[in-house]
A and B are shown apart, each in its own frame.
Chain A
Amino acid sequence: MRGFGVLSCAALALLLCGCYGVLPSQGGGQTDFRQPRLVRPADVAVPAGYRVEAVAAGLTYPTSVAFDEAGRAHVAEAGYSYGEDWTTPRLLRVEPDGRLTPIAAGGRNGPWTGVAFHRGAFYVAEGGELEGGRILRILPGGGMQPIVEGLPSRGDHHTNGPAIGPDGWLYFGQGTATNSGIVGRDNADMGWLERFPDVSDTPCRDVTLTGANFTLADPIGGRDTVTTGAFLPFGIPATPGQVVRGRVPCSGAVMRMRPEGGRPELVAWGFRNPFGLAFAPDGRLYVTDNSYDERGSRPVFGTGDLLWAVTPGAWHGWPDYHGQDPLDQRRFAPVGGPVPPRLLAQPPDLPPRPAALFGVHASANGLDFSRNTAFGHVGEAFVAEFGDMAAQTGKLLAPVGFKVVRVDPATGVIEDFAVNRGAENGPASLVGGGGLERPIAVRFDPAGTALYIVDFGVMTMGPHGPEPRPGTGVLWRILRAGASP
């Protein structure tokens, strides 16, 4: 009987590989959820010698944590979630007993995607879905002012970061408006195309187009069909050899500026959504880059999120490459769909080699590096994997992400660090228990002995897209088993 089972298991393996096209999607958000969220650290598995604690709960769309000069944790709540839910962006101080003290509140221009503390002030990346992206300086007393605004954030992805470099400059990421360079139906589904029909991606340098165009039924304007080219607004076709002028600030870029204010400078470009930014102990800047989805007018199949050691000045591949692989190959075509055509007549560079490749649709987001041997894994990057948004971003056979991983940037080896217990991977809302939902950021405390995990909370994926649940966010902490917080 056992031998029969073994043989049939082997047959099943082959069968599954050939049946991707007919199997249903089983992503981590494809489940039901009923309040309240259970929070139970024992349901989170970490390696031997570490333990997990819940620090605070009841957060609404938290995205980041930073520590002030007294070592007190401050959490940023986004004020916006995919699924088009607007709440109030806030900066909150976490008290020792887990109570949350509001420090500052924003307007209707979230999401606040990240926070850093530098020389007496907080710096927040205001994502800018409605009014364009900003970097805000927030004083501990609550005073707030933008140090830059008008960043190109009115699309799918937003202003991210920030991170203070060893050179004292403030670095931030700017995600692209579109999935893969073409404005289309998926952007109407995201909600912004009807609001801003003239929005498109802005290249950082001049680019010459192949003239590839994409035609679809008009989802917003009542025209029969609409034809759109790369880096152009909806309904504007490209011509072969057309040059789209680059400018800064731009889409899909890492930029930097002085914290006191001034014009942003380009650091590197050709990213898709550089969400997490962190400096390694050797001073090199690393970013996590959410890769292409299988959606829209130019869907791309099978590209994992990337960890980049940023090469200053270089183009990192978007919208025509994944790592060093050009997209116009069969392997990047959706099952039964077309090979993504090239959009740029000449690639600006050969992209660098990425430091690591995460699971497809893992949504590798906030990261930080271990610096203290007391915690361990010095020099490794700890990365929050928010988890898939299947089936909207593409079909999966099983949930991907919903965990914290550690990455050796020298080898690209990725190991699980904090996962939910059980026979299957996934968020607690799917697999049961009171463990992780959607880790979105990690940060070591100033001593480097505790890893804080910002858990966005429950976001299921329904028939109309994301279904975020306010008030389900949690701040976790991982320490060595014998350490005190």
Chain B
Amino acid sequence: MMRLLAGGAAVLLLATLAACGSARRGEPLVGPMPMAEPRLANGQIAFMANCHQCHPKGEAGLGPAINNKPLPGFLMKLQVREGFGAMPAFSPAEISESELDDIVVYLQALRHGG
């Protein structure tokens, strides 16, 4: 029974890690991200001011990697507004609704850029 549980946990972990993939998105590795879309550029600026410290370019650091996790946009916004664990909550006074929307656009672009 224990072997079955351990094997199941290992399969779960491997499937999880395979689905997550590398979080690295820097220009030297994947090339520049096209920034023609204003929401992308705005989202990048808002991300740098509020999120980059703990999630450098969406990679892990103080916080976990977030640009290789398929979280839907509404869940990302919920986590930003509510916080979770060591992550603080960010009020609309700190990150406006439109900035938050643009951050989600930026994060989704980062995820697909890997």
Residues of A participating in the B interface, judged by any CB pair closer than 8 Å: 1-2, 4-6, 8-14, 16-21, 45-48, 301-304, 330-331, 335, 356-362, 394, 396-400, 403, 411-419, 421, 423-425
**Contact A415 B26, CB 8 Å, known A359-B61, A359-B62, A400-B56:** yes
Q: In the bound complex, what is the Cα–Cα distance between A21 and B87 (angstroms)?
A: 11
Q: In the bound complex, what is the Cα–Cα distance between A13 and B45 (angstroms)?
A: 23
Residues of B within 8 A of A358 (CB): 52-53, 56
Interface positions of B from 18 to 65, Cβ below 8 Å from A:
18-20, 22, 24, 26-29, 31-32, 44-45, 48-49, 52-54, 56-57, 59-65
| B92 within 8 Å of A (CB atoms) | no
Tell whether, in the assembled complex, residue A330 and residue B45 are in contact, meaning their CB atoms are under 8 Å apart: no
A448 → B minimal CB distance (Å): 21
B16 → A minimal CB distance (Å): 4
Residues of A within 8 A of B53 (CB): 302-304, 357-360
**Contact A425 B48, CB 8 Å, known A46-B28, A47-B27, A415-B26:** no
Having A5-B15, A302-B53, one finds 14 other A-B pairs with CB under 8 Å, namely: A5-B16, A9-B20, A9-B69, A14-B84, A17-B87, A21-B85, A358-B53, A359-B54, A359-B56, A361-B61, A394-B62, A419-B26, A421-B29, A423-B22
Tell whether, in the assembled complex, residue B26 and residue A416 are in contact, meaning their CB atoms are under 8 Å apart: yes
Q: In the bound complex, what is the Cα–Cα distance between A396 and B27 (angstroms)?
A: 23
Main secondary structure of the interface of A (DSSP, over half): mixed
| B70 within 8 Å of A (CB atoms) | yes
Residues of A within 8 A of B4 (CB): none
**Contact A10 B70, CB 8 Å, known A17-B79, A17-B87, A359-B61:** yes
Query: Contact check: which of A301, A413, A417 meets B48 at CB < 8 Å?
Result: A413
Tell whether, in the assembled complex, residue A359 and residue B28 are in contact, meaning their CB atoms are under 8 Å apart: no
Q: In the bound complex, what is the Cα–Cα distance between A299 and B53 (angstroms)?
A: 17
| B12 within 8 Å of A (CB atoms) | yes
* Pairs A–B under 8 Å by Cβ, sample size 17: A2-B19, A6-B70, A8-B15, A17-B84, A302-B54, A302-B86, A331-B88, A357-B49, A357-B52, A360-B61, A397-B63, A400-B61, A403-B26, A411-B48, A413-B44, A413-B48, A415-B26
| B109 within 8 Å of A (CB atoms) | no
Residues of B within 8 A of A415 (CB): 26-27, 57
Flag B6-18 by CB within 8 Å of A: 1 or 0 each: 0000001001101
Tell whether, in the assembled complex, residue A397 and residue B60 are in contact, meaning their CB atoms are under 8 Å apart: yes
Tell whether, in the assembled complex, residue A414 and residue B16 are in contact, meaning their CB atoms are under 8 Å apart: no
Q: In the bound complex, what is the Cα–Cα distance between A9 and B45 (angstroms)?
A: 27
Residues of A within 8 A of B15 (CB): 1, 4-5, 8
Residues of A within 8 A of B65 (CB): 398
| B66 within 8 Å of A (CB atoms) | yes
Interface positions of B from 82 to 98, Cβ below 8 Å from A:
84-88
Instruction: For A416, give the chain B residue with the smallest CB separation.
Output: B26
Tell whether, in the assembled complex, residue B27 and residue A416 are in contact, meaning their CB atoms are under 8 Å apart: yes
Q: In the bound complex, what is the Cα–Cα distance between A17 and B68 (angstroms)?
A: 14
Tell whether, in the assembled complex, residue A8 and residue B86 are in contact, meaning their CB atoms are under 8 Å apart: no
Residues of A within 8 A of B57 (CB): 414-416
Residues of B within 8 A of A47 (CB): 27-28, 31-32
Residues of B within 8 A of A362 (CB): 56, 61
Enumerate the 3 nearest inter-chain pairs by beta-carbon distance, A residue then B residue, closest first: A416-B26, A5-B19, A304-B53
Q: In the bound complex, what is the Cα–Cα distance between A318 and B31 (angstroms)?
A: 38
**Contact A8 B79, CB 8 Å, known A17-B86, A400-B61:** no
**Most central of B15, B16, B44, B59 by chain A CB within 10 Å:** B16
**Contact A13 B69, CB 8 Å, known A46-B28, A330-B88, A418-B28:** yes
Q: In the bound complex, what is the Cα–Cα distance between A425 and B61 (angstroms)?
A: 10
**Contact A8 B19, CB 8 Å, known A304-B52, A418-B28, A425-B24:** yes
Tell whether, in the assembled complex, residue B48 and residue A412 are in contact, meaning their CB atoms are under 8 Å apart: yes
Tell whether, in the assembled complex, residue A13 and residue B71 are in contact, meaning their CB atoms are under 8 Å apart: yes
A360 → B minimal CB distance (Å): 4
Query: Contact check: which of B18, B61, B63, B69 meets A10 at CB < 8 Å?
Result: B69
Q: In the bound complex, what is the Cα–Cα distance between A423 and B16 (angstroms)?
A: 16
Q: In the bound complex, what is the Cα–Cα distance between A12 and B19 (angstroms)?
A: 11
Tell whether, in the assembled complex, residue A9 and residue B26 are in contact, meaning their CB atoms are under 8 Å apart: no
Instruction: For A359, give the chain B residue with the smallest CB separation.
Output: B56
B26 → A minimal CB distance (Å): 3
Q: In the bound complex, what is the Cα–Cα distance between A417 and B28 (angstroms)?
A: 6
Query: Contact check: which of B19, B48, B54 meets A9 at CB < 8 Å?
Result: B19
Instruction: For A332, give the chain B residue with the smallest CB separation.
Output: B88
